[in-house]
Chains A and B, each alone.
Chain A
Amino acid sequence: MDKYQKGIFLLLTLCWSCASWAKRPEYKLELKDHLFYPAEIEIPAGRKVKLVIHNHDSTPEEFDSFDLNREKVIFPKKKAVIFVGPLPPGRYGFFGEYNPNTAKGTVVVTDKPDAETGDRDAN
């Protein structure tokens, strides 16, 4: 393999990797008045997905989940991205660290085919 072939191979690998990222399902969550909408979100089993959380409140929140092993600060009026999975089917709780009594939710990991569709709206 000469250097041009190597270069093309590297480029194709890079494109394939980018395409893989682009295909990653994306799920949207909203945070309003210290509540997560939806409070329960279904994602597919065995796949890495992207949760995009939009904090509409005027105070920061921290997404916290021992089950999902994630902690992430979401600044007021900003969006934060959390990568989750691949996970086996089950229920994985999360909460907002600043408002743990109200800001609660569950990620439901399921084998159901309709959970495969990403780019879902929160409401």
Chain B
Amino acid sequence: MKSFTAKSFIRLVLLVFAPMHLAYADGVVVDKVYHPYVLPNETEVEWRLLSHRTSKSNSLGQRFAYGHSLSETIIAEFYVVAERDDTDDFGLQAYEIEIRQMLTEQGQYWADWGMLYEVEKQHDRDNWEVATGVLFEKEFGRTSLTMNLFGIYEWGQDLDNEFETEFRLKYRYRWIPAFQPAIEFYTGQDFTGAGPAFMGIHRFSGQKQLKWEAAFISALNTHSKDHTFRVAIEYEF
């Protein structure tokens, strides 16, 4: 591994902390931290669960997704989002289309870059959200730093027209394929949180593989209870 110089450290600190001043989203920002990589011939199905518990509420969200790569550098995913609302009813909440684009070849430059584009519409309401994200990943020996910075615009019948930003970070140690511990950090306008995360991969024959990840994120900006547990399972074939 190339020596980790003071210059590299300064660059890294600037990259990590500069977006934090920009992040001011007001929704729940804990979700997947996206990698900037795309493989051609890839089809995937995904399930995500988010359980957000505070001293006053316990909301639950699930996402079901189907994705397919459209080219060597672009993958599209379609999501159906289900949530448990304040009255404990669990039902269909929203639809979402997501495009992820790999901008640079992995390892070619100092860091790897990608972009994410999302459009979401609520199921029974005329509420919309569009998002654009910059995806970043840099390897340091057996560890990888992944960062996402999103710009989000939302509008609709129950929403004020509003621009928000979110920042997500994951620092992962690639220990063994089946178990890779990490630290995750999230920030938005009303939320800053961090916590341990774990991910792993199990290979079947050919391109078939199962990826899993889980994280337990605690809010850092409040003294009251505010925890989020997230799980994601992805089957690629």
Contact = CB atoms under 8 A, between A and B. Distances in A.
Do the two shown chains form a genuine complex with each other?
A: yes
A98 B204 CA distance: 10
Interface residue tally of chain B, by bracket? 20 to 34
Contact of A69 (B39, B40, B72, B139): B139
Given A62-B207, A85-B107, A86-B1, 12 more contacts: A66-B176, A69-B174, A70-B106, A70-B107, A72-B39, A73-B39, A75-B40, A82-B106, A83-B105, A84-B107, A97-B203, A97-B206
Interface of B: 1-2, 37, 39-41, 72, 105-108, 139, 141, 144, 174, 176-177, 203, 205-207
A81 B105 contact: yes
A17 B108 CA distance: 12
Interface string A56-93: 00001010001001111101000001111111100000
Given A97-B206, A98-B206, A60 B41 contact: yes
Contacts, number: 43
Contacts of B206: 97-98
A86 B141 CA distance: 9
Interface residue tally of chain A, by bracket? 20 to 34
Interface of A: 46, 48, 60, 62, 66, 69-73, 75, 81-88, 97-98, 100
Contact of B107 (A48, A60, A73): A48
